[in-house]
Amino acid sequence: MTREIAVVAFAQTDHRRTSDELSEVEMLLPVLHEVLDRTGLRTSDIGFTCSGSSDYLAGRAFSFTMALDGVGAWPPISESHVEMDGAWALYEAWTKLLTGDADTALVYAYGKSSPGSVRDVLTRQLDPYYVAPLWPDSVALAALQAQALIDAGETDEPALAAVAARSRADAGANSRAQLRGSVPHGDYLVRPLRTGDCPPIGDGAAAVILAAGERARQLCERPAWIRGIDHRIEAHSLGVRDLTDSPSTRLAAEKAGAFARPVDCAELHAPFTSQEVVLRKALRLGDEVRVNPSGGALAANPIMAAGLIRLGEAAAAIHRGESDRALAHATSGPCLQQNLVAVLEGDPR
């Protein structure tokens, strides 16, 4: 029999364009306090801790070691770190809880994009021999994908603009979001993408607490049970991929059981409007599903944390009783190369 594991608490920063006055650990500390306060747990009560962040954003090696000061790892803790979005840190923590080695886990992620030019920084993710030397930036690659979608008749520019407008309007109800309400769609950044089709650049952090079985029920009135979670990666070279589709998302969703029953809500990690079109198709989400009620990554996109925030927002919707079965998605790499899908459910009301 498999252990039941749930997200029992979620917290995040106010996402902002810059946070010059704060170090990573100073940005993270209040979020850790908040997520622990929601459950009444202290660091010493946590069975396993796992985080996600990137040295390339921080501009220094071993940047995650300082963040550990915010956790208060004394006496020593059982702890691990992925150089990935925090959604994958949550996945590692989920497997740890499945083994029975721990009953609770603290998962956090943070990223400060403001100190550098993030479009340039992300080019360092590309094939270092054949692609990275050309410095194709993240917006340009997303624009290739958007144009492929338009050429295939899957969307058009007004439809993309509508995705942007809906996301930021919904973010009006999310006090943490960076871009909220009416935001001008702007000029072309890289054709066919306008500034409004692209995510804001900003700094932020997020944390969740996982708990198993009865522990989850003690810590949370309505735990968000992880019914399934899976992640898959695709080929790196854009030339061998169909950019209008996301087979890795579809496969992860199948493995996570997403297609067994309809979801009522989905938090998709789609930093570009065009990527929501790809993901909706791969995940077979109809118009009846509320997509990104938080505003999604188009409203706040702290790199390395934005995927974990999708899981946190989906779980929080269940905690609040606004959703009974939610899908959460996270992505990494150029043009949705790697994707994670989780299905969360609340107990019947």
Closest by CA to 107, choosing from 309, 322, 342, is 309
Say whether residue 236 binds other proteins (CB under 8 A): yes
Residues 6 or more apart from 309 whose CB is under 8 A from it? 12, 204, 206, 267, 294, 300, 302
Over the window 148 to 187, marking each residue x when it contacts other proteins by CB under 8 A and - when it does not, the resulting string is: ----------------------------------------
Q: Which stretch binds other proteins (CB under 8 A): 37-45, 196-204, 216-224, 331-339?
A: 331-339
The position carrying tokens 């789609």 is: 270
Give the Cα separation of 126 and 134 in Å (integer): 10
- What minimum distance in Å lies between the beta carbon of 189 and other proteins? 22
Instruction: Identify the residue among 18, 117, 218, 237 touching other proteins (CB under 8 A).
Output: 237
Q: 3-class SS at 157?
A: helix
With respect to other proteins, which residue has the nearer C-beta, 93 or 208? 93
- What minimum distance in Å lies between the beta carbon of 115 and other proteins? 10
Q: 3-class SS at 302?
A: coil
Say whether residue 81 binds other proteins (CB under 8 A): yes
Say whether residue 194 binds other proteins (CB under 8 A): no
Q: How far apart are the first and last CA of the chain?
A: 25
And the tokens for 203? 């700094």
And the tokens for 264? 């009522």
Closest by CA to 310, choosing from 324, 293, 322, is 293
Instruction: Identify the residue among 127, 214, 242, 347 touching other proteins (CB under 8 A).
Output: 127
With respect to other proteins, which residue has the nearer C-beta, 62 or 288? 62
Instruction: Identify the residue among 20, 21, 44, 61 touching other proteins (CB under 8 A).
Output: 61
267, amino acid identity: E
Binding interface with other proteins (CB under 8 A)? 1-3, 23, 49, 54-56, 59-62, 64-66, 68-69, 72-84, 88, 91-92, 95-96, 98-101, 121-122, 124-129, 132, 230-237, 247-248, 251, 332-334, 337-338
